[in-house]
Structure 1
Amino acid sequence: MAPSLALDGGTDDYRVTPPPVTGRFPSVYSDVQNTRNFHALPLPSVLKTPFKIVDGPQSSAAGNPDEIAKLFPNLFGQPSAMLVSSDSDTVQHNQKLKVGVVLSGGQAPGGHNVISGIFDYLQDSAKGSTLYGFRGGPAGIMKCKYVELTSDGRDKIETPEQFKQAEETVNKLDLDGLVVIGGDDSNTNACLLAEYFRSKNVKTHVVGCPKTIDGDLKCKEVPTSFGFDTACKVNKAMQIVFTVHL
Structure 2
Amino acid sequence: MKVATYNVNGIGGRLPILLKWLALAAPDIVVLQELKAPQEAFPQAAIEAAGYQAIWQGQSRWNGVALLSRVGEIHETRRGLPGDPKDEQSRYIEAAVAGILVAGLYLPNGNPCSGPKFDYKLAWMERLHTHLASLVALKAPVVVAGDFNVIPTAADVYKPARWKDDALFAPEAKAAYQRLLEQGWTDAIRHLHPEETIYTFWHYWRRSYERNAGIRIDHLLLNKLARNRLTAAEVDLRPRGWEKTSDHAPVWIELSDAPVRKAKKKAS
Instruction: Specify if TM > 0.5.
Output: no
Which structure carries more strand by proportion? 2
In terms of fraction of residues, the more helix-rich structure is 1
Short-chain TM bin: under 0.3
TM-score between both structures, scaled by the size of structure 1: 0.22
Specify the structure having the higher radius of gyration (Cα): 1
Query: Normalization by structure 2: what TM-score?
Result: 0.21
